Structure 1
Amino acid sequence: MILDWLLPVLLLSVLALALIGAIRRISLWRAGQPSPVDFFGGLKAMPRRYLVDLHHVVERDKYMSNTHVATAGGFVLSLVLIILVHLFGIESKWLAWPLLASSVLMFVGATFVYKRRKNPPSRLSKGPWMRLPKSLLVFSVTFFLVTLPAAGVLPQGFGGWVLALILAAGVVWGLGEMVFGMTWGGPMKHAFAGALHLAFHRRPERFGGGRSTGLKPVDLDAPVLGVQKPSDFKWNQLLGFDACVQCGKCEAMCPAFAAGQPLNPKKLIQDMVIGLAGGTDAKFAGSPYPGIELGNAKGGPDSTITEGLVNPDTLWSCTTCRACVEECPMMIEHVDAIVDMRRFLTLEKGNTPGKGAETLDNLIATDNPNGYEPGSRMNWAADQNLRVMSEVKEADVLFWVSDGAFDMRSQRILRSFVKLLKAANVDFAVLGDEERDSGDVARRLGDDATFQSLAKRNIAVMNKYRFKRIVTTDPHAFHVLKNEYKDFGGDYEVLHHTTFINELVKDGRIKLGGHKGGTVTYHDPCYLGRYNGEYDSPRELLSAMGIQLAEMERSGFRSRCCGGGGGAPITDIPGERRIADMRIEDARATGAELVAVGCQQCTAMLEGVVEPRPEIKDIAELAADALVEADDSQPARTRRDELAVEVA
């Protein structure tokens, strides 16, 4: 019968064309810059990364998790068995029956895909993606039917020529979408690119439960600083862009998109694909950047990205909160790409909007973003009698004060934390006027040169002294000190102040009474939570004060950004509303009278919302207010006493 010879020919032809397409696609990725990978180790790790790490994200949506297991699992198993049974002609019921079963499994998954696509959420791309459920169903049904004779269920040639031609058409449709389209373009392109993306990910530390959030340093001797054109990206970044499944989960979580600023992380990644392969965004079937019409963006591998493909305001709208990265089931690194492109605009073109240029000039001239006199860094502590490292040379804890030292509101947080440190008799000291800005703002604004200068100078100062830990009330400084200074020789144990205070409470070194007040909710700072995985200590500390939190709908790893990260308040790209206003609306929905925070920038952003609104307080302030003073009849044990005992 016709299928006896036509089916192997079709299979061989499609597989050959798919191989040609794969070579073509790989050549596009390889146009990017070198990036070392563990080739065989990555391929070996790929199945686990797919089955465990990727599905750890996917299973947050149980419906799609189960659907994906059935559909993708059924397809992969079916394709392997189809090659054995129908291409190599292995006549075995031990292969034919599992092929029937895998086809049924794929069919079940495809019906749920079809159901989801009947009334899809707005975040999902439409266009070619709307035909995918039909292609999945055709593929599974067609190969189920053509395998029935091999399984001995029906005789060879059943149904005659008419059915054979119909099945042949189904084979062409199914193989065309599911195999040919995997490397030549279409919805299934994500499957081929996604598998290799997992194998050769630029941040392999993210797999196996790891965390990798520090930005990669710029080679300041490179011919071009940052990314000017798509071919300036690392080759495996280009590969990652092709892995996008256009699910729009990043879009749904992006605070800038929700605020009506001209950023949509899904659209940005698809624009990078346009830049990779050449073309325009006329056929993009998802949500556009707010306020920017589709059809006008065009680019190519060697075209400047911000001169036709992406408006610079799109890049400057990002708060670097990593909500998009956290939600992405394909583990694409949107923030890396955005900062890479910002680096070109800042370092090569000098085009940093808003007060960006002024801020960077201030950092260079005064070591702080607002241009304050460097010698006034310790004015806030004139009455605190703090020990300074240049005098004592050694302490258990180095208290990194950060630039909150220049802000009157942040100074209240610093004073509260100092009160707790003294109550616990912590042996601590500060750098005083030797401390400089951590460099976080400069780095997020794309000025890696200034960041590296600040980092190296801070490291040189800290390396003069002996201490066990660094503690800071600033999550942004916490992040760069902990995760980004390592690239320059600064490897330290760094704690956020909520973690440290929680330790003091657990160790019995301070005692906290009950909180006197109304309903409390907690806002997770992006650079403490998503960047560093610290969600528990702030909540445990609040619980120690007898506070039962009224959690916001978006909390924990899905917390909404306050709008203060990534230099966003400095570049100040206009939108339809303010991100901080949306966050306060989240808090109001809980009925909270007070929002507990653990970040100076979050405090500033949320307190900037027009009243009436809940009160905003740092957890250090709440803990200092709840502190139960030690009994004066029992003198506190000081570090000097402990040293005396050790010497004795």
Structure 2
Amino acid sequence: MLETLLPILIFSALALAVIGAVRRIRLWRQGRPARVDLLRGLAAMPRRYLVDLHHVVARDKVMSNTHVATAGGFVAAAVLMILVHGLGLGSSESMGPILGGLLLLASAAMFVGSLFVAKRRRNPPARLSKGPWMRLPKSLMAFSASVFLLTLPTLGILPAGTGSVILALALAAVLVWGLGEMFFGMTWGGPMKHAFAGALHLAFHRRPERFSTKGGEGNRSTGLKALNLDDPKAPLGVETPSDFTWNQLLGFDACVQCGRCEAACPAFAAGQPLNPKKLIQDMVVGMAGGSDAHYAGSPYPGKPVGEHAGTPHGPIVAREGTALVDAETLWSCTTCRACVEECPMMIEHVDAIVDMRRFLTLEHGNTPGKGAEVLDNLIATDNPGGFDPGSRMHWAADLNLPLIRDLGQVDVLLWLGDGVFDMRNQRTLRALVKVLRAAGVDFAVLGNEERDSGDVARRLGDEATFQSLAKRNIATLSQYRFQCIVTCDPHSFHVLGNEYGELGGPDFNANWVVRHHSTYIAELFEAGRLHFAPWKGGRVTYHDPCYLGRYNGEYEAPRNVLKALGIEVAEMQRSGFRSRCCGGGGGAPITDIPGKQRIPDMRMNDVKETGAELVAVGCPQCTAMLEGVVDATAEVRDIAELVADALVERPAGSGGSSDSARPPQSASGTRPVMKEVTS
């Protein structure tokens, strides 16, 4: 009887899964077109799953091993089950014992993995979604145990007799339960939906360059994608779920609701109305149509579940009435990419948020707080503060800084950024100038020719203002010859290095080198061009800027500089790629969405836990945010300031010619070089 019943059950489940897959694909295809390499993506999917995805999952060793056993066991058991029970190969005298034995091993491994899943779900962390996810361990065990026991007769282990028929029917009923979750639920909806959508998401990812290739590694690919402002038919951002590209919708559907993004999000921790996990789930709700009433995870702080709903072609953020999300949810994001860094499914949360911001800003002019004022200032004065563009160099009147327009060619172009209008950041710039001169660096500045990099405008969604600033800066930079750009602002560093290239046109040299000042100072020290007095201060910790670390992978250079100063860094619990944001990115200080506490206050509490008397930083926005904390227990100083204070004259007779630390020239030797710098 089982020989007849099992194939019917298996192929019925497969047929329903195929029907569900077609239905699911239609939901994704509501989105805008996106170019993907179909065959290459499918071919690369196994490696992306086994290498790139598990590189993130492996940060939690227990869950990594659990996932290997459960997911690996399921894939192997499903394939072998079709061969053994579906196609009847288990009765083959030659292949039956081998295939049956392998099926027993695969289903046993899956069952062991499901036990660990069940253990985790007994008292799940707050970040994990509950609801349907609480039944997943039972479904995993039902599938694996029933397959294991139903396979025993193929090896002659299950005893014959009338009782075995009743047992077999009972096991078949349990198998139906498992098949329903594993196959039917994988495409129709349920906890296992992430397996089907996740596999295709890896194949057709919005940023395929993030993935490793054979014998190499993937790129960070953190620059925002440019809008085509010359095409009158191109949408200005995302108004409805169907305005996302189809592979973005696919990516949202791949969410496993593990809550790693929620745990890492500084806005969520501060009690602002943002939860990256729920935001992604809201986009899934909008894609399929419905409300968030069945969402079983942590809500947006201060916003109960069940009050939001949407449709594929309805507005995500409505001016009136019910919508998928409130505008303040989008404006709470600091664009720190902590969510993206932690996501095991490699979903691009920040891309989606900025896409939605673009519509609010470009179409509605709906930018909260001082957003509209800052954008108007950028348009009128080329700087967010609205200062007279002709006063950009007033702070350096006594420094006699060389202008590149007078020289035409230098080794280093020093990009000052809009910190020139801030008295606190002027101290950092003065320190950096002192360091460059002590090392004998041939450098110059653009002076009044320099404009805002456009970072703030782009993060606030004003793509038009960003592109205008970027293209004018590109035109200015292209007039001069230099070997690299050095800046103390990670936001300018990121935009110049990772986002200007897409706007440069066919004549733009895509090999421009941009360095953060900590990286360049480290190189100068290694080349013997800087010498420091021993550190005599107190305990020091270091705060990793998001746009230097997570965006560009530079974690070691700042620490190497501090080490060269004789400082042993007292690391915060959240440091490196898990560093907590200062709260200054993404225009967050401008939109100023209230929460239960301030993000910089939380970061200074992290500093306090180390017992540090001083926190070293490498970003003007981090400096401003952390120094704005009331009753802070640690002083905030930029790395350039610490280096400038420790400088001593080069010992007589020491080496280190002025050529020894020069950055590499471009291939042509005439045009600047710009590329993403990663550690």
TM-score by length of structure 2 reads: 0.93
- 2:278 is equivalent to residue 267 of structure 1: yes
Query: Once the 2 structures are TM-superposed, how far is the Cα of residue 635 of structure 1 from its aligned partner?
Result: 12
Partner of 1:214 in structure 2? Answer: 223
Partner of 2:668 in structure 1? Answer: none
Q: 1:325 aligns with which of 320, 340, 343?
A: 340
Q: 2:266 aligns with which of 229, 232, 255?
A: 255
Partner of 1:498 in structure 2? Answer: 518
Q: 1:530 aligns with which of 550, 556, 577?
A: 550
Written as runs of structure 1 = structure 2, the 5 A alignment for 1:190-209 is 190-208=194-212, 209=217
- Aligned mates of 1:638, 1:266 — CA distance in 2: 51
- 2:450 is equivalent to residue 439 of structure 1: no
State the secondary structure of the residue aligned to 2:412.
Answer: strand
- Aligned mates of 1:158, 1:74 — CA distance in 2: 32
Query: Once the 2 structures are TM-superposed, how far is the Cα of residue 161 of structure 1 from its aligned partner?
Result: 3.5
Give 2:343's aligned amino acid.
Answer: C
State the secondary structure of the residue aligned to 1:464.
Answer: coil
Whether the 8 Å contact between 1:505 and 1:512 is mirrored in structure 2 is: no
Partner of 2:425 in structure 1? Answer: 410
Query: Once the 2 structures are TM-superposed, how far is the Cα of residue 336 of structure 1 from its aligned partner?
Result: 0.2
Partner of 1:479 in structure 2? Answer: 494
Whether the 8 Å contact between 2:529 and 2:656 is mirrored in structure 1 is: no
Q: 1:316 aligns with which of 314, 328, 331?
A: 331
Give 2:302's aligned amino acid.
Answer: G
State the secondary structure of the residue aligned to 2:223.
Answer: coil
- 2:386 is equivalent to residue 371 of structure 1: yes
Query: Once the 2 structures are TM-superposed, how far is the Cα of residue 516 of structure 1 from its aligned partner?
Result: 2.0
- Aligned mates of 2:658, 2:184 — CA distance in 1: 73
- Aligned mates of 1:132, 1:235 — CA distance in 2: 28
- 2:118 is equivalent to residue 114 of structure 1: yes
Q: 1:554 aligns with which of 574, 585, 594?
A: 574
Partner of 1:136 in structure 2? Answer: 140
Percent identity, please: 70
Whether the 8 Å contact between 2:486 and 2:514 is mirrored in structure 1 is: yes
- 2:191 is equivalent to residue 182 of structure 1: no
Partner of 2:440 in structure 1? Answer: 425
Partner of 1:645 in structure 2? Answer: none
Give 2:306's aligned amino acid.
Answer: G
State the secondary structure of the residue aligned to 1:362.
Answer: helix
Q: 301-310 or 483-492, which moves further after superposition?
A: 483-492
Gaps of 5+ in 1: 643-648
- Aligned mates of 2:40, 2:16 — CA distance in 1: 28
- Aligned mates of 1:637, 1:15 — CA distance in 2: 71
State the secondary structure of the residue aligned to 2:428.
Answer: helix
CA 149–509 in structure 1, closer or farther in 2 if over 3 Å, else same: same
- Aligned mates of 1:322, 1:159 — CA distance in 2: 59
Partner of 2:72 in structure 1? Answer: 73
- Aligned mates of 1:33, 1:544 — CA distance in 2: 51
CA 418–40 in structure 1, closer or farther in 2 if over 3 Å, else same: same
Whether the 8 Å contact between 1:93 and 1:152 is mirrored in structure 2 is: no
State the secondary structure of the residue aligned to 2:413.
Answer: strand
Whether the 8 Å contact between 2:604 and 2:632 is mirrored in structure 1 is: no
Gaps of 5+ in 2: 663-679
- Aligned mates of 1:43, 1:622 — CA distance in 2: 51
Give 1:192's aligned amino acid.
Answer: F
- 2:168 is equivalent to residue 169 of structure 1: no
Partner of 2:607 in structure 1? Answer: 587
- Aligned mates of 2:628, 2:449 — CA distance in 1: 31
CA 17–619 in structure 1, closer or farther in 2 if over 3 Å, else same: same
Whether the 8 Å contact between 1:224 and 1:348 is mirrored in structure 2 is: no
- Aligned mates of 1:13, 1:472 — CA distance in 2: 62
State the secondary structure of the residue aligned to 1:617.
Answer: strand
Query: Once the 2 structures are TM-superposed, how far is the Cα of residue 637 of structure 1 from its aligned partner?
Result: 6.5
- How many residue pairs align between the two structures? 639
State the secondary structure of the residue aligned to 1:588.
Answer: helix
CA 188–157 in structure 1, closer or farther in 2 if over 3 Å, else same: farther
- Aligned mates of 2:566, 2:418 — CA distance in 1: 31
- Aligned mates of 1:322, 1:51 — CA distance in 2: 23
Task: Tell me the alpha carbon deviations over residues 486-520 of structure 1, each in whole angstroms, 9 at most, x when there is no partner.
Answer: 10125310000000000000000111222221000
Whether the 8 Å contact between 2:228 and 2:234 is mirrored in structure 1 is: no
Partner of 2:540 in structure 1? Answer: 520
Query: Once the 2 structures are TM-superposed, how far is the Cα of residue 629 of structure 1 from its aligned partner?
Result: 2.1
- Aligned mates of 1:373, 1:51 — CA distance in 2: 54
Partner of 2:297 in structure 1? Answer: 286
Give 2:266's aligned amino acid.
Answer: P
CA 459–13 in structure 1, closer or farther in 2 if over 3 Å, else same: same
Q: 33-42 or 221-230, which moves further after superposition?
A: 221-230
Query: Once the 2 structures are TM-superposed, how far is the Cα of residue 154 of structure 1 from its aligned partner?
Result: 2.5
Query: Once the 2 structures are TM-superposed, how far is the Cα of residue 223 of structure 1 from its aligned partner?
Result: 4.3
Query: Once the 2 structures are TM-superposed, how far is the Cα of residue 159 of structure 1 from its aligned partner?
Result: 3.3
State the secondary structure of the residue aligned to 1:153.
Answer: coil
- Aligned mates of 1:159, 1:173 — CA distance in 2: 22
Query: Once the 2 structures are TM-superposed, how far is the Cα of residue 155 of structure 1 from its aligned partner?
Result: 5.0
Query: Once the 2 structures are TM-superposed, how far is the Cα of residue 385 of structure 1 from its aligned partner?
Result: 1.2
Partner of 1:229 in structure 2? Answer: 240
Partner of 1:35 in structure 2? Answer: 34
- Aligned mates of 1:125, 1:505 — CA distance in 2: 49
Q: How large is the RMSD of aligned CA atoms in angstroms?
A: 1.4
Give 2:316's aligned amino acid.
Answer: I
State the secondary structure of the residue aligned to 1:94.
Answer: helix
Task: Tell me the alpha carbon deviations over residues 32-64 of structure 1, each in whole angstroms, 9 at most, x when there is no partner.
Answer: 111111111111110011011000000100110
CA 365–99 in structure 1, closer or farther in 2 if over 3 Å, else same: same
Q: 1:541 aligns with which of 554, 561, 566?
A: 561
- Aligned mates of 1:178, 1:612 — CA distance in 2: 53
- Aligned mates of 1:148, 1:370 — CA distance in 2: 75
CA 334–487 in structure 1, closer or farther in 2 if over 3 Å, else same: same
Whether the 8 Å contact between 1:129 and 1:187 is mirrored in structure 2 is: yes
Query: Once the 2 structures are TM-superposed, how far is the Cα of residue 224 of structure 1 from its aligned partner?
Result: 2.6
- Aligned mates of 2:580, 2:382 — CA distance in 1: 30
CA 176–638 in structure 1, closer or farther in 2 if over 3 Å, else same: closer
- Aligned mates of 2:61, 2:153 — CA distance in 1: 36
Partner of 1:577 in structure 2? Answer: 597
CA 612–196 in structure 1, closer or farther in 2 if over 3 Å, else same: closer
Query: Once the 2 structures are TM-superposed, how far is the Cα of residue 631 of structure 1 from its aligned partner?
Result: 5.5
Give 1:385's aligned amino acid.
Answer: N
- Aligned mates of 2:156, 2:268 — CA distance in 1: 56
Query: Once the 2 structures are TM-superposed, how far is the Cα of residue 612 of structure 1 from its aligned partner?
Result: 3.9
Partner of 1:618 in structure 2? Answer: 638
Give 1:53's aligned amino acid.
Answer: D
State the secondary structure of the residue aligned to 1:493.
Answer: strand
State the secondary structure of the residue aligned to 1:22.
Answer: helix
Q: 225-234 or 149-158, which moves further after superposition?
A: 149-158
TM-score by length of structure 1 reads: 0.97
Query: Once the 2 structures are TM-superposed, how far is the Cα of residue 636 of structure 1 from its aligned partner?
Result: 9.9
Query: Once the 2 structures are TM-superposed, how far is the Cα of residue 140 of structure 1 from its aligned partner?
Result: 0.5
Whether the 8 Å contact between 1:401 and 1:430 is mirrored in structure 2 is: yes
State the secondary structure of the residue aligned to 1:495.
Answer: strand
- 2:463 is equivalent to residue 448 of structure 1: yes
- Aligned mates of 1:598, 1:566 — CA distance in 2: 17
State the secondary structure of the residue aligned to 2:499.
Answer: helix
- Aligned mates of 1:64, 1:410 — CA distance in 2: 44
Task: Tell me the alpha carbon deviations over residues 535-569 of structure 1, each in whole angstroms, 9 at most, x when there is no partner.
Answer: 00000100001100110000000000000000000
